Amino acid sequence: MTAFAVGGLVVSATLSAFTYLWARTYLVDQRQTSAVHQADANAQLMRTLLEPHSPDVARLLNSLQTPSTAQSVVWHAGRWYGTSALAGPDALPAELRNAVISKDRPARQRYQRSGAQVLAVGIPLSTTDSYFEIFSLSNLDSTLGALGESLIAASVLGFLVSLAIGAWATRRVLRPVREIGAAAAAISGGRLDARLDAGGDQELAELATGFNSMVDTLQRRIERDARFASDVSHELRSPLTTLHSAVTVMQRRRHQLDAKAARALDLLGDEVNRFDHLVEDLLEISRYDAGVVHVDLEPVDVVALTKGLLAEADQKVEVSATGADATIVIDRRRLAQALRNVIRNAIIHAGGLTAAAVNVGEQWTEISLEDHGPGISDDERDAIFERFARGRAAGRRSSGSGVGLGLALVAEHLRLQGGSIRVNAVNPSGSRFVLVIPTRRPLS
Ligand SMILES: Nc1ncnc2c1ncn2[C@@H]1O[C@H](COP(=O)(O)OP(=O)(O)OP(=O)(O)O)[C@@H](O)[C@H]1O
Ligand SMILES: [Mg+2]
């Protein structure tokens, strides 16, 4: 835009300057030519009228045809005569006087006289007589001044017009870029159905079509992957149920088994449980990917819910509750699963919870769960919320350790309801997971 404006200014200023110079040369030339013609004609007349001892030269001068802007001066027989008191030898530059009177040559000169441009033309009439005519150029000056002003105005206008054209062109050129940016942002924000309008500009149609087909491919692949994960999880469910019942049957006969077989059965039981969790988590996550999640909102007493889940997990910690009313509108199943995952983590990774707090604020409700375990290092603080991120547990694959989906699910569950999760360090060691959800009050 700036380039356009500066370019426009340079072009129009240059054109204006040239126009001005050309016009000035032309006008001055023309004026000079007509002045010389007029002076010639008058000199001719004077030559015939002036006799060696003319009695009344001043009257003769006044009878000449001169416009009001011109004045005549005559050098006759050693004396000066002028059309007015102001027109005398002083009105003529000495140079011009000398050239005409002494050297007997016609001459002209442009000069300043009492602040205005004038042109004087001198013509020798005889050895003793010379005729001078002084032309005022001040109306030429004012013409040129007006021309200059309008050219400056034209330059400014040119600048403004090119600024406007620049703004328009920039917006037009950048619009598709902006549209692509918006579409890309929408897609990365999860709106996979965002597309560009390919019906607009001819040149851009190709770009839009290419972009759209890329997104189509991407969308198909994402959907296929999501379906694959959910299909696999579904397929695993029925054999898992069978395994579960088989293990339960065998566990009832555990006392009949010898020590080795009993240990093997325990291991099998643990692994089947772990597998069960994995499949449940995978199903849940693939539902997010396929975009088929429903929120079931209902009024929930978050303090009571937290207490209940802690008791269920055998965690004997007090729940400190702040805020007036603990009942907020939320998806109970998802909040419960999120809390369960964090509690389970504390048990598995940190040896159990040491403190719990619920704070129901005006806008946000925060549930903090604290442990004195090894804590989360700074560089893992964000990564643990990603799928299959297992932090320091990675590499170990003992029974009891998970697959790394727990916190990813917690994050999805909370995000779906406009909330989030964060983790802080606890002194001297340990972590505090804070689940944040918007405080929505039931309509009563
Ligand atoms: N309370 C905690 N103290 C220390 N580390 C933790 C704690 N909670 C989670 N982590 C770390 O974060 C990682 C990711 O946790 P996440 O719940 O996502 O996976 P997981 O517990 O390993 O497996 P899953 O929950 O899927 O069974 C864990 O592997 C562990 O290293
Ligand atoms: Mg976990």
Question: Which of left, alpha, beta for 173 (phi over 0: left; psi -120 to 50: alpha)?
Answer: alpha
Ion ligand 2, residues whose Cβ is below 5 A away: 345, 402, 406
Question: Sorting pLDDT into bands at 50, 70 and 90, what band is 2?
Answer: confident
Question: Sorting pLDDT into bands at 50, 70 and 90, what band is 172?
Answer: confident
Cα 241 to Cα 226: distance, rounded to the nearest angstrom: 23
CATH 1.10.287.130 domain residues, the chain: 202-290
148 vs 286: which has the higher pLDDT? 148
Q: Where are the alpha helices (DSSP H) in 128-195?
A: 138-188
Cα 298 to Cα 363: distance, rounded to the nearest angstrom: 18
Question: Sorting pLDDT into bands at 50, 70 and 90, what band is 146?
Answer: very high
CB burial of 220-229 (b: ≥16 within 10 Å; e: otherwise) equals eeeeeebeeb
The chain-wide mean pLDDT, for the chain, equals: 88
Q: Which listed ligand is nearest to 405 at the C-alpha? A: 1
Give the position of tokens 């400014």: 156
Rounded distance from Cα 421 to ligand 1 centre (Å): 14
The 8 Å CB, 24+ separation contacts for 100-107 are 100/124, 100/130, 100/132, 101/75, 101/130
- Of all protein residues, whose CA lies closest to atom 29 belonging to ligand 1? 390
Class of domain 297-438: alpha beta
Please name the CATH architecture into which domain 202-290 falls: Orthogonal Bundle (1.10)
**What's the pLDDT at 173?**
81
Q: Which tokens sit at 4? A: 């356009």
Ligand 1 contacts CB of residue 133 (under 6 A):
no
Question: Is the model's pLDDT at 150 over the cut of 80?
Answer: yes
- Of all protein residues, whose CA lies closest to atom 28 belonging to ligand 1? 390
CATH 3.30.565.10 domain residues, the chain: 297-438
Ligand 1 contacts CB of residue 76 (under 6 A):
no
Rounded distance from Cα 389 to ligand 1 centre (Å): 8
Cα 168 to Cα 190: distance, rounded to the nearest angstrom: 33
Rounded distance from Cα 391 to ligand 1 centre (Å): 7
Highest mean pLDDT among 4-13, 190-199, 264-273: 264-273
Ligand 1 contacts CB of residue 350 (under 6 A):
yes
**What's the pLDDT at 425?**
93
**What's the pLDDT at 243?**
94
Ligand 1 contacts CB of residue 269 (under 6 A):
no
CATH 3.30.450.20 domain residues, the chain: 2-145
CA angle 231, 232, 237 (to 5 degrees): 100
Please name the CATH architecture into which domain 2-145 falls: 2-Layer Sandwich (3.30)
Report the atom number in ligand 1 closest to the C-alpha of 401.
22
Ligand 1 contacts CB of residue 376 (under 6 A):
yes
- Residue-wise pLDDT for 388-434, tens only, equals 888 766 655 554 567 889 999 999 999 999 999 999 999 889 999 99
Q: Which tokens sit at 68? A: 């009001």
For CA atoms 175, 177, 180, 182, the dihedral sign is negative
- Residue-wise pLDDT for 96-143, tens only, equals 888 888 888 899 998 888 888 889 999 998 888 889 999 888 888 888
**What's the pLDDT at 50?**
79
Residue of 407, 410, 421 best suited for mutating to test ligand 1, as the one with most atoms within 8 Å of CB? 407
Rounded distance from Cα 400 to ligand 2 centre (Å): 10
Q: Where are the alpha helices (DSSP H) in 50-77?
A: 57-62
